[in-house]
Amino acid sequence: MARPARPRVPHSCRRQRSQLDLESVPIRSPNARWPTPRQLRHDPGMKYEVVSSETPLGEGPVWCPDGTLVITTLSPGGLLRITPTSGELERIVSVRGGANSAQLAADGGFVIANNGGIDFTVFADSMGLDISKIPFRPGPPGLQRALPSGEVVTLSGEGLQAPNDLIVAADGTIYFTDPPPHGGTQGGEGHFWSYSADGDLHRIASGFEYDNGVALSPSGRLLIVEGCGLMWLDPATGDKQWWVEQLPDGSRGDGFAFDVDGRLYCACPLEHCIRILDPNGKQVDVIDLGEGAYPTNCCFGGPDKRTLFTTELAPGRVCAIEGLPTPGLELHLWPTP
């Protein structure tokens, strides 16, 4: 990964109040500089705000009914709760390994895809991360459940290599991607799994280069990021079908979210942006987050679900893009056993 160009420092990147012990959270290098998000080309009135600037290695945003946002952190692994109106942070769950994604459970807890941990030494210089503040605490990869109390229990782990992203279907089934560990540097192939509401783990498909983000479309179809494209996957047969074989400009997507009209908002870390695709897979716009930003995932939230929240590997912000034309698609709760 090439060193990103030095970005311009924004005029209003305000520091947020925090309840978190910052010694336990990785921070940016003091020599790094903050990028500035830019507005959508088709709507210059679109508003954005930096909700938090203290959340590097962030992933898996989840909007909660109480008006807070919960994100996963890859290192140290766990869940952080963010109050968007104040920027206050609270660590509500800690895990060994890397919490890569999460979704709400019916009891107010969460289900978590844990990748087992990533050693970020190889990425630190190119992304301006202070590696001395990033504790590498590997743990067993698996699918986990975080209780409302913060206690974490393992739902399934045997045979899993690096669970990445997950989605809950209407019947309570958890679908999740399981790519080769550490971005495929050790070779191997990716798998795709289901975990039923009854607790049965089933491998649906294999042979992926690097399966990453996953979501359900408004019609209920499974879509995953595979390599440089987006692929439909039939959970009953394991059949694969390209929707977009190559994202624009050679992008590699990460996490993504659908709106109610079937538009897709896809985080593209190496291009520092969120790409917006229409229901036919055609790119219709780009949210440029600025050189030096490495967005990992996004979700819809806010009172009307018209705010897009984005997480970043670096520099460590959560951004809110407000006033989107259509609300996000409602997600299903995982039914607590």
As a whole-number percent, the residues of the chain with pLDDT over 70 amount to: 85
As beta bridge partners, residue 93 has: 79
Domain-embedded: residue 116: yes
Domain limits at 178?
26-322
Q: Could you tell me if residue 21 is inside a domain?
A: no
State residue 291's pLDDT score.
Answer: 84
Would 263 be classed as within a structural domain?
A: yes
Q: Is residue 260 part of a domain?
A: yes
Residues 226-237: b if buried by 16+ CB within 10 A, e if exposed? bbebbbebebee
Query: Which CATH number goes with the domain that contains 221?
Result: 2.120.10.30
Grade residue 56 by pLDDT with cuts at 50, 70 and 90. confident
User: How many structural domains is the chain composed of?
Assistant: 1
Q: What's this model's pTM, rounded to 2 decimal places?
A: 0.87
Nearest-angstrom CA–CA distance, 261 and 331: 14
CA torsion, ordered 270, 40, 266, 49, to nearest 10 deg: 80
Within-domain flag for 200: yes
* Interval 64-117: pLDDT, tens: 999 999 999 998 899 999 999 998 999 999 999 999 999 999 999 999 999 999
Give a yes or no: residue 19 inside a domain.
no
Please write the tens of the pLDDT for every residue from 241-263. Answer: 999 999 998 899 999 999 999 99
Q: Render pLDDT for 120-142 as a digit per residue (tens, 0 to 9).
A: 877 777 777 776 777 788 999 99
pLDDT in tens, 5-36: 323 322 222 223 233 332 333 333 333 334 45
Classify residue 10: in a domain, yes or no.
no
- 127 membership: H or E segment, kind and range: helix 121-127
Report the C-alpha gap between 185 and 180 in whole angstroms. 8
| 20 CB-near residues (< 8 Å, 6+ apart) | 54, 80, 89, 90, 91
Q: What is the pLDDT of residue 290?
A: 87
Q: Is 232 part of any domain? A: yes
